[in-house]
Structure 1
Amino acid sequence: MKNFFKNLGPGILISAAFIGPGTVTICSVAGVNFGYSLLWALLISVFACIILQEMSARLGLISGKGLSDCIREEIKNPFLRIFTLFLIFSAIVIGNAAYEAGNITGAVLGVESVFSTINFNLGALRLNIWSLLIGGVAFILLFLGSYKKLEKIFIALVLLMSVAFILTAILTLPDISEILKGFIPGSFDAGLLTIIALVGTTVVPYNLFLHASLVSEKWSGPEYIGSVRKELVFSLLLGGIVSMAIVVCAAAAQIDKIEDAGDLAKGLEPLFGNSATIFLGVGLLAAGITSSVTAPLAAAYVVQGCLGWKKGMQSKRFRAVWMSVIILGVLFSSLGIKPVEIIQFAQIANGIVLPVIAIFLFWIVNQRSVLGENRNNLFQNILGFIVIILAIFLGVKSILNVIQNF
């Protein structure tokens, strides 16, 4: 058991990355609008995530490189390579800069569900103090520059977040038989967009890049493949349980409409008292902080791989990328700006890039020249093919959804 906890790390960071404020909000919407009936969609999304992340982790372990490095090196056609890297850069770097504001704002909602809003005026500008403080925390955590330190901090934050959300769900005293019925697929029509959102918020494109890079930082060599898989499955199943706990909380909250996770905290307080609100606020704060660190970290790894920079978190260029993402996120969040056009562009780019990256990852993990005997077997290819079809469907639907909203 001691050895197992020693091996925790990359998978925990991936779990922390997909349970951000966006996931909390989408799971809350699913619970409020559809009760427990979409729990099956979450379960499928977790298994799809495990399949893709295992390929990414195995790539990082055996090759010792990040996914963007491998894409840059393996695509020989110059035009296709430049186009693919541009698409990745657009979706991950620009997208993460836009979503960083949401991550920081989500953490702020967690604080403000327990404490009051604090603003101060800077000339004509009105800034939110909590946004600045949370952005500062993310900055300090990344400036430490050590993967091992980040790993320990994230294990603590994920455990805190898990305990907070699961305890909140227990406080709502849910009907276990109704929860079990939620794992049986029912009508797809009522919650199709919510189903797409639930899967899309769990199977995150930037996590495929982040995981390969993090695994290459922690381990090296095929002898660790068992440890990598155990740690990955444990971490992502824990993340899935946390997401399901949020759905359970939201199903218990007697509210008609929800726009963000802050509404969920308000809805729980009259029913289950101040303790439920505090637990939810702590969980949301931890979710916001972890995502506000992993998003800029992933962006930095992607740029590093796309441009062929030398590896190392201490690199000035590496730091410049994540600093830029955090600064933009803090500005958008503290000023209350909603960069709708940028987020819409990022959603379209992510809708295209998820199936594209899934296909390239699938192709690379089948290359003997890259993974040797550890390339995909027939069973892994069948599972991977099914997930790619799902990713294409999600991509097309998300693009159409954004276009319809213009």
Structure 2
Amino acid sequence: MPKPNEDTPPKPKGLRRFLGALGPGLTAGAADDDPSGVATFSVVGAKFGTQFLWTALLTWPLMAVVQMMCARVGMVTGKGLGGALREKFPRWLVGIGAVALLAANLLNIAADLAGMGDAMEMLHAGPRLLWVWVYGIGICLLAIRLRYQQLASVLKWLAMVLLAYIVTAFLAKPHWGQVAHDTFLPSLPHGKEGWSSLVALFGTTISPFLFFWQASQEVEEDKAKGRRLLAWRRNATRRELGDRKLDVWTGTFFSNLVMFFIILTAAFTLHAHGKDVQSTKDAASALQPLAGDYAFLLFTGGLVGAGLLAIPTLAGSAAYAFAETFDWVSGLDKRFKRAVSFYAVFIVATVGGALLDLFHLDPVKVLVWSAVVNGMLAPFLLVALLLVTGDNKIMQGQPSPLLNRVIVGFTALLMFGGLGAMAFLGA
């Protein structure tokens, strides 16, 4: 048996190590570009052009450090984020956070299912509501049927679907000089609408559901590899943390690259031609005559793949948050009969999102509500995360590095500042 915290040779190097390291960080980053996120990026690009391209440069390192901090929680403590928070805060307070997360995720799932349904309808595959329920029920059945490793493998491959949005951007034939100028010479937003869009971009990119998903998947990874069966396994080796850092930084880079190119596409097609969009359906419909059939098909097909990737993480993160808060048996590696409460929350989140779509809610309002809840919850969760990851006892002698805590604190201040500016301008 290997000694605690020592790596067992031989270890892969180079490209093999890189590919082997990809996992929870890649899927978490890719899941951030869900259909509701695509809608947000498209609306911002259509309304403001290339003005907000610079945000992708800022949100990438901030998102990466936050996600790595969440990964460290799972790897070091053997608990998800909800379980770690329970060691620092009372159950009722963590419970409020879990309820707020579920509310935000319900709205996100509703927007994602609506976007997937719209995509299928635009592809002449049948009515929108039919596909909302096909995808909603299908995702629930797959989550119950597949074990963690099978589901994780599916999600990892689905991440590749998002490459469609990068290809679409080149079909839009952007002016690269303007792109470079607005990317590297940022300008602050003006007025309530501009600040609201900035808060929405941060809320969509640095999302609370990803915090819980990332930490819980680290625990699932350890269980799948049998690590938690070892009595001495209470933290993570330096190499394991290094591999996860590689995974997380790659996943978040990919996520923000896709965000960048979606804004760019909308800027040089929709904004350039004065097209106002309110949803992904508007964006795809307007894109076809401006950038061609290939761009339309890539954009629309990408919505379906993005939704299939994102909805399990949205519903799963809520299920993990509740299970860890209230000490339920949990995990996508568990059979349904062993974790009924965990899967019940997963089903409620997914089917609840489908039910919301029956009310034909304004897609823009759904996105705004989701962004507001996420934008309000995220900075508070970041503060709680700082307190947990700075606690030497909870973190088994492996607290987050000081630089990471400073960056996450700065991120929380930025998000609090954005909310304050929006509230002040709205007064």
Scaled by the length of structure 1, the TM-score of the pair is 0.89
Confirm or deny: 8 A CA contact 2:392 2:399 kept in the other structure. Answer: yes
Q: Map 1:3-402 to 2 at 5 A.
A: 3-75=17-89, 81-115=90-124, 117-118=126-127, 128-161=129-162, 163-183=163-183, 184-189=185-190, 191-219=194-222, 221-223=235-237, 224-253=240-269, 254-313=273-332, 314=334, 315-334=339-358, 336-337=360-361, 349-396=373-420
Unmatched runs of 5 consecutive residues or more in structure 1: 76-80, 120-127
- Counterpart CA distance in 1 for 2:97 and 2:219 is 20
2:292 aligns to what SS in structure 1?
helix
1:203-260 Cα shifts (integer Å, max 9, x gaps): 1012111111111211464221001100000011001111111111101222421101
Q: Does the Cα contact within 8 Å between 1:347 and 1:399 map onto a contact in 2?
A: no
Q: Give 5+ residue unaligned stretches, structure 2.
A: 1-14, 228-234
Counterpart code for 1:195 = L
Question: Deviation at 1:329?
Answer: 1.4
The one-letter amino acid paired with 1:215 is: E
The one-character-per-residue Cα deviations of 1:176-197 (angstroms, maximum 9, x if unpaired) are 2211112121242152221221
Contact in 2 for aligned 1:113/1:277 (Cα 8 Å): no
Cα distance change of structure 1 residues 335 and 300 upon mapping to structure 2, 3 Å threshold? same
Secondary structure at the residue paired with 1:39? coil
Aligned equivalents of 2:422, 2:92: Cα separation in 1? 21
Cα distance between partner residues in 2 of 1:268 and 1:217: 40
CA distance change for structure 1 residues 354 and 299 in 2, over 3 Å: closer, same or farther? same
Equivalent residue letter for 1:323: I
Contact 1:109 1:285 (8 Å CA) reproduced: no
Displacement, 1:389? 0.7
The residue identity in structure 2 corresponding to 1:388 is A
Q: Deviations over 1:250-273 (max 9, x none)?
A: 012224211011111112211222
Distance in 2 between residues matched to 1:49 and 1:201, nearest whole Å = 11
Compute the displacement of 1:373 (Å). 4.0
Shift of 1:99: 2.4
Q: Is the 8 A contact 1:104 1:289 kept in 2?
A: no
**For the residues of structure 2 that align with 1:342 and 1:202, how far apart are their CA atoms?**
17
Superposed CA RMSD in Å reads 2.4
Contact residue 355 and residue 395 of structure 1 kept, 8 A? no
- The whole-number CA distance in structure 2 between the counterparts of 1:387 and 1:323 is 32
Identity across the alignment (%):
24
Change beyond 3 A, Cα 1:274–1:182:
same
Contact 1:23–1:201 under 8 Å retained in 2: yes
Secondary structure of the corresponding residue to residue 97 of structure 1: helix
Equivalent AA in structure 1 for residue 130 of structure 2: I
* Cα deviations by residue, 1:27-59 (Å, 9 ceiling, x for unpaired): 112211222221111221222211211111111
SS state at 1:275 partner: helix
